[in-house]
Amino acid sequence: MTEENILGRIEISPNAIASLAAQAVLECYGVVGMANKNLRDGIAEVLPGGNFRRGIEVKLVDHQIFIDLYVVIQYGTRISEVAHGIMNRVKFTVEKALGIPVAEVNVHVQGLHVDEH
């Protein structure tokens, strides 16, 4: 995404937007972590530390942002409430930081994490 004015040009990469979104997601209640977009053998694994952006897809179309998030949620939480919380937090965080409208935030629950006691 590029913006120009008399002083010059500002370019915002999809990776920068994905980093903002990842930070917002990981602060949400009920989220265990990000998951890979492509499930292996039908099993969702939580992505380690620096790979969170692999669980996020960002598309820029006509100065609007479309974000797909692939997450693992804690078992026992209300999935729909956690997903709505993620949507609201990511939309707010990205719009506040960039001043660009977020058209869609789609949450794909790739798995549930069950604590082993």
Per-residue pLDDT tens listing for the chain (117 residues): 777 778 898 888 999 999 999 999 999 999 998 988 776 655 566 666 666 677 899 999 988 999 999 999 999 999 999 999 999 999 999 999 998 899 999 999 999 988 876
Task: Domains for the chain: give ranges and CATH numbers.
Answer: 2-113 (3.30.70.1350)
Cβ atoms of residues 116 and 95 within 8 Å? no
pTM: 0.86
